[in-house]
Amino acid sequence: MLIKPLDDIPSAEITPESIYQERRRFMRNGVNLMIATTVGVTNTTLFSAPVVAKGVDPSSAINLPIDFPHLKPSAFSTGEQSTPFAKITAYANFYEFGTDKSDPQRYAQTLTTRPWSVQVVGEVEKPGVIDMEEILRKFTLEERIYRLRCVEGWSMVIPWVGLPLSELIKRFQPTSKAKYVQFSSLLDPKQMPGQEDRFLNWPYTEGLRIDEAMHPLTILSVGLYGRVLPHENGAPLRLVVPWKYGFKSIKSIVKMRFMEQEPLTSWIEAEPRAYGFYANVNPTVPHPRWSQKKERRIGEFFKRNTLMFNGYAEQVSSLYTDMDLRKYY
Amino acid sequence: MPLIFLIVGLVTEHLGANPAEMIIHETGQWALRLLMLTLSITPLVQITGWSILTVRYNLRRLLGLYAFFYASLHLLSYLLLEQNFAWQEIMDDILTHPALDIGWLAFILMIPLAMTSYPQLAHQLSRRRWQQLHQLIYLISISAIIHFGWLAQAKVDVREPLIYAAILLMLLLLRYPPVIRRLAHKNVTFSKE
């Protein structure tokens, strides 16, 4: 395993984001005023202020209290520059709240994340329900700064707060038949208005092979930048599998089912040719509609080359040694 | 105007978290919108009888050239921001991704139309040949919408491309002689009263 040296400064303190936010706000106000006075219209979407939670001042988003002050740093964290908090929350795919990248931030605030629990069923010795409070209390939370690569060709670096999924799984004691695990998101069109559009089969489902689920890189995230996970990023509990495309990292999980067969996923149902079960980040296997060789790191203007397994090849390539990754895309 | 918004937006960091993507999408969308507007001029003139729009101001030509301008910006932004002018990979994209090829097709077909919009070049052609050539706009519009639908930003959500398709269908229907005859007739009698 590749162990990189770490600095023990929490990532939230590295980037002086308040300064950056202040400047943005200043520019935004100036431009809005200019347009309002000279043109008299502000109808273009280009100029609407960056979306923020209703009633929340955009500049205060980063001044939220640190909810997890004593995080254990992780040897798996990358030393790369983290994407600013404001961009992580403003640019997300969470189709339960709409297909536009800014929809989640605009609409996800109505989601009720407490009480919350995860139901565990299927091939386990001890099926049951685990409560969110229990997850937060009983597991050691770590900061894991991971690269995230979306199948659409953009990427971020996100300082997650989370726990290894394997530790949670062990509590339920999977049987020898448990070869796969299927995850389901919340199904509630009242809270998740995007579910009224039927282009995906709700609830969103995803799955991992059991060795992928037990891999030390795989975490359940409960926060980012030291704060409770924002609704738009999959509150209160989401999966993070950093060597796979982002859509594998299912958000707002309510159920885990251990299975003998490979589970069907929402994306395979919608477009099997484009979205496979494995979805490993792989620059050599193009998506049917676009190449996967390059990616645009959010905050950068030009594209950079995509790394095999999103840069985690040393840790995970052994999981796939006997597989043709063109076939099992 | 949309270009000015994009430039000001870029300078003041108002293009969201992924400004490069925003530039590519916006220029493409404007090219398509302007194509639709160009196509709406002929039925508009026929229905309202405002021939001044085409005869005196040649609004159709102006809009068509703007559409070509935005299509050029769209292509340029793809070449620069998406591929950084790596010709090998651009070729690779052309060979493997038909959704992109349809966009190229639409753009290439626009070139002769834009060229023959200049009076000097237009005079090289007979009126009839010019008209035949400019009927390519139907093929261009259909290709542009397919290109958009195929690459729809939200993978399975094709509502937006479908709206464009519906508008195009309506504009084509308005060119169907019986339809235009009915609409134009009513209006002509109205304007005479």
Residue A28 is predicted with a pLDDT of 53
Taking Cα atoms as reference points, which of A151, A144, A316 lies closest to residue A245?
A151
Distance CA A236, CA A108 (A): 12
Confidence of residue A254 (pLDDT cuts 50, 70, 90): very high
Pairing mode, strands A180-185 and A205-209 = antiparallel
Pairing mode, strands A154-164 and A219-224 = antiparallel
Distance CA B167, CA B165 (A): 5
Q: Give me the mean pLDDT over the B49-73 stretch.
A: 87
Contacts 24+ apart (CB under 8 A), B102-107: B102/B143, B102/B146, B102/B147, B102/B150, B103/B75, B103/B143, B103/B144, B103/B147, B103/B151, B104/B75, B105/B143, B106/B71, B106/B140, B106/B143, B106/B144, B106/B147, B107/B71, B107/B72, B107/B75
Q: Which of A31, A87, A101 sits opposite B12 (nearest CB)?
A: A31
Residue A104 is predicted with a pLDDT of 96
Q: Give me the mean pLDDT over the A305-326 stretch.
A: 96
B55 in contact with chain A, both atoms CB, cutoff 8 A: no
Residue B187 is predicted with a pLDDT of 52
Residue A262 is predicted with a pLDDT of 97
Residue A291 with chain B: CB contacts under 8 Å: 89, 92-93, 96-97
Instruction: Using CA coordinates, name the residue in chain A closest to B25.
Output: A46
- Inter-axis angle of helices B98-115 and B136-150, nearest 10: 150
B97 in contact with chain A, both atoms CB, cutoff 8 A: yes
Handedness of CA A288, A291, A292, A296 (dihedral sign): negative
**A291·B92 Cβ contact <8 A:** yes
**Rounded (10°) CA dihedral A305, A306, A312, A316:** -140
More confident residue, A18 or B138: B138
- Is 70 exceeded by the pLDDT of residue A40? no
Residue A292 is predicted with a pLDDT of 94
Lowest mean pLDDT among A9-18, A176-185, A248-257, B57-66: A9-18
Residue A8 is predicted with a pLDDT of 52
Residue B60 Cα, gap to closest chain A Cα (Å)? 24
Handedness of CA A308, A313, A319, A324 (dihedral sign): positive
**B157·A31 Cβ contact <8 A:** no
Give the residue ranges of the annotated binding site of A for Mo-molybdopterin: 95-96, 150, 185, 233, 238, 249-251
In single-letter form, the type of residue at position A286 comes to P
Residue B20 Cα, gap to closest chain A Cα (Å)? 6
Residue A36 is predicted with a pLDDT of 45
- Is 60 exceeded by the pLDDT of residue A204? yes
Q: What percent of chain B has pLDDT over 90?
A: 45
Size (chain A), residues: 329
- Inter-axis angle of helices B127-134 and B98-115, nearest 10: 160
In single-letter form, the type of residue at position B193 comes to E
Q: Phi and psi of A231, rounded to 5°?
A: -55, -45
Burial B145-177 (b: 16+ CB within 10 A, else e): bbbbbbbbebbbbeeebeebbebbeebeebeee
Residue A112 is predicted with a pLDDT of 96
Q: Which of A91, A152, A270 sits opposite B16 (nearest CB)?
A: A91
> What 3-state DSSP class applies to B104?
helix
Q: Which of A27, A270, A303 sits opposite B156 (nearest CB)?
A: A270
Average pLDDT over chain B reads: 85
Mutate to test the interface with A, among B156, B157, B160, B162 (most CBs of A within 10 A): B156
- The pTM of the full predicted model, rounded to 2 decimals, is 0.82
B18 in contact with chain A, both atoms CB, cutoff 8 A: yes
Residue B181 is predicted with a pLDDT of 77
Q: Which residue has the tokens 């009698």?
A: B189
Radius of gyration of chain B (CA): 19
- Is 70 exceeded by the pLDDT of residue B3? yes
Residue A306 with chain B: CB contacts under 8 Å: none
Q: What is the pLDDT of residues A41-62, one digit of tens each?
A: 333 333 333 333 333 334 445 6
Cβ contact A219:A164 at 8 Å: yes
Distance CA A26, CA A142 (A): 35
How distant, in Å, are the alpha carbons of A68, A73, B36, B57, B127 from that of B52?
Answer: 69, 72, 20, 7, 19
Q: What is the pLDDT of residues A216-243, one digit of tens each?
A: 999 999 999 999 999 999 999 999 999 9
For residue B154, what are the contacts with CB-CB under 8 A and spacing of at least 6? A95, A99, A100
Residue B186 is predicted with a pLDDT of 55
Residue B20 is predicted with a pLDDT of 92
Q: Which residues of A have a CB under 8 Å from any CB of B?
A: 24, 27-28, 30-31, 44, 46-47, 50, 87, 90-91, 95, 99-102, 152, 154, 197, 199-200, 270-271, 274, 286, 288-291, 293-294, 296, 298-299, 301-303
> Using CB atoms within 10 A of its CB, is residue A94 exposed (0-12), middle (13-18) or buried (19+)?
buried
How distant, in Å, are the alpha carbons of A199, A216, B40, B144, B166 from that of B137?
Answer: 32, 56, 12, 10, 16
Cβ contact A236:A132 at 8 Å: yes
Angle at A156 between CA A152 and CA A160, to 5 degrees: 125
**A31·B97 Cβ contact <8 A:** no
Q: Which token pair is A42? A: 């502000």
How distant, in Å, are the alpha carbons of A121, A217, A240, B23 from that of A165?
Answer: 16, 9, 9, 39
- Is 90 exceeded by the pLDDT of residue B71? yes
Residue A54 is predicted with a pLDDT of 37
Instruction: Using CA coordinates, name the residue in chain B closest to A45.
Output: B15
Mutate to test the interface with B, among A103, A287, A290 (most CBs of B within 10 A): A290
Q: Which token pair is A278? A: 């494995």
Residue B182 is predicted with a pLDDT of 77
Mutate to test the interface with B, among A82, A99, A106 (most CBs of B within 10 A): A99
**B93·A199 Cβ contact <8 A:** no
Q: What is the pLDDT of residues A110-139, one digit of tens each?
A: 999 999 999 999 999 999 999 999 999 999
A and B: number of Cβ contacts within 8 A: 87
**B14·A90 Cβ contact <8 A:** no
**Rounded (10°) CA dihedral A276, A249, A14, A306:** 0
Q: Which residue ranges make up each domain of chain A?
A: 13-320
Q: What percent of chain A has pLDDT over 70?
A: 81
CB atoms near residue A299 (< 10 Å): 15
Q: What is the pLDDT of residues B152-184, one digit of tens each?
A: 755 677 888 899 999 999 998 888 777 777 777
Residue A304 is predicted with a pLDDT of 95
The fold of the A13-320 domain, in CATH, is Sulfite Oxidase; Chain A, domain 2 (3.90.420)
Residue A10 is predicted with a pLDDT of 55
